[in-house]
Structure 1
Amino acid sequence: MVPLPGCPRAVLAGRLCWGAALNGVLSFVLLAAAIGTDYWYLVRVDLPAGGNRSAWEAEKLSSHSGLWHLCEGRNACVPLIDPFSAESRQAPASLQHLLCMHRAFVVLLPLSLILIVFGWICGIISSLVRSSRLLRITGCYLLLGALLTLSGTSIYISYSRAAFTEAVRMFDQQRFEHVHVAFGWSLALAWLSFGTEGLAGILLLLAAWGIHLRPDGGSVAI
């Protein structure tokens, strides 16, 4: 029996599994760094030029925040209000939708981080036993985790914009003439984590497809 020439699917599937494993590790590192840092939302205040005092006051009024803390100027960071506390449930009705969004992304993003760990372990086991079914399940599992990351970051963006709009409504519009808001690099890390986690899931699905499509009649008798 002489095998027909063709693509070594087992080797290709192994390389795809290695690529998925590397992307899984990278996704975990990126998301953990994003959750643990406080540069998701940046507020910069530009006061009219008036000497060193104006620059110092502008720096003092500027701030950056993450999922858990708010850092103003050079002061130490303070924790944000706990959206699950009894105090948050006593907030005005106009703020309850903001608290609901806050509860959503502080649950979804850490949950996605946990799913990456379990997905990575399942992916390693599936590649070792070379089971196309387990690889497909793990690939879909990682795609679900990527969807949670996408949902969490999208909700955070909506939350930040709604919170700024509510602040402008509650206070005088003139107070925000020199205020500039932007999203920081922590949010960018979360987006990169979403991409690498989704890529890991796709690579595992491709590996499962490669293993499943091994030709039965891959040899001829001479």
Structure 2
Amino acid sequence: MSLGTVCVTAGLTGLFSFVFLAVAIGTDYWYIIDVSDSRYNHGEDSEDLNSHSGLWRICEGKNACIALIDPFGEESQNVPESQRHLLFMQKVFVILLPLSLVLLVFGGICGLVSSLANGLHMLLFTGSYFLVGGALTLTGIAVYIAYSKAAFAIAMHLYGHKLFDNVHIGFSWSMGLACLSCVSEVISGALFLLAAKLVAVQHPEQSAVI
């Protein structure tokens, strides 16, 4: 595989990573609650009981969407002490995931410059940068998963396990896109490191400086 092909593939993979993460952050299908088969819907339209949520809001029924509590706002002061850990996890993922998106922009700039210059040091830096960015995205996703599980555990504790016997919960396509973004980011980083290796082979005078 030629150096140019590797660099172009790495750049496209990084672009896909940005698009996947941007769509994931902007949509509300990270976590879904389906009560269609619940015995506790009391004859209500099941579609009005279903809900799905994202990083910023939760949507109940067909059109009603409400913003999640602002973890940095004044209303967060009224959260019970027993639920403070949820607020902390919310702060973590609402910072990490948008930050990862911003870092992808700078990573794309670095990737373009290093590909055009074919500089060994720049390619090594860009590859490492994308790998660190992928780890950051993965951390944000992991914290969101932990947050969702903890929130559901609190809900079951408050309302009882029987209420949730026929309630189906899970992660949806927004979460899937975030995971694809993480994988694409790691692949892009690995390809930039491969490009650096090809440069070192083709231009041993650059590797001799390291």
After TM superposition, the structure 1 = structure 2 runs for residues 101-120 of structure 1, keeping only pairs within 5 Å, are 101-120=89-108
Corresponding position of 1:31? 21
Corresponding position of 1:91? 79
| Counterpart check, 1:47 vs 2:35 | no
Q: Distance in 1 between matches of 2:89 and 2:95?
A: 10
Tell me, what secondary structure is at the counterpart of 2:71? coil
Please, which of 169, 175, 188 is the counterpart of residue 181 of structure 1? 169
- State the shift of 1:177 in Å: 2.0
Q: Distance in 2 between matches of 1:166 and 1:47?
A: 19
Instruction: Report % sequence identity.
Output: 49
> Normalising by the residue count of structure 1, what TM-score does the alignment of the two structures yield?
0.87
Closer, same or farther in 2 for the Cα pair 1:123/1:173, shift >3 Å?
A: same
- State the shift of 1:215 in Å: 6.3
Corresponding position of 2:208? none
CA RMSD after TM alignment:
1.9
After TM superposition, the structure 1 = structure 2 runs for residues 149-164 of structure 1, keeping only pairs within 5 Å, are 149-164=137-152
Q: Distance in 2 between matches of 1:143 and 1:18?
A: 17
| Counterpart check, 1:71 vs 2:62 | no
**Conserved? CA contact 2:40–2:163, under 8 Å:** no
- State the shift of 1:208 in Å: 0.5
Structure with greater Cα Rg: 1
136-145 or 206-215: bigger deviation: 206-215
> Normalising by the residue count of structure 2, what TM-score does the alignment of the two structures yield?
0.92
- State the shift of 1:90 in Å: 2.8
Closer, same or farther in 2 for the Cα pair 1:18/1:169, shift >3 Å?
A: same
Closer, same or farther in 2 for the Cα pair 1:123/1:215, shift >3 Å?
A: closer
- State the shift of 1:12 in Å: 1.3
- State the shift of 1:216 in Å: 5.6
| Counterpart check, 1:20 vs 2:24 | no
| Structure 1 portions without partners, runs of 5+ | 1-10, 218-222
Tell me, what secondary structure is at the counterpart of 1:38? coil
Deviating 4+ runs (over 6 angstroms): none
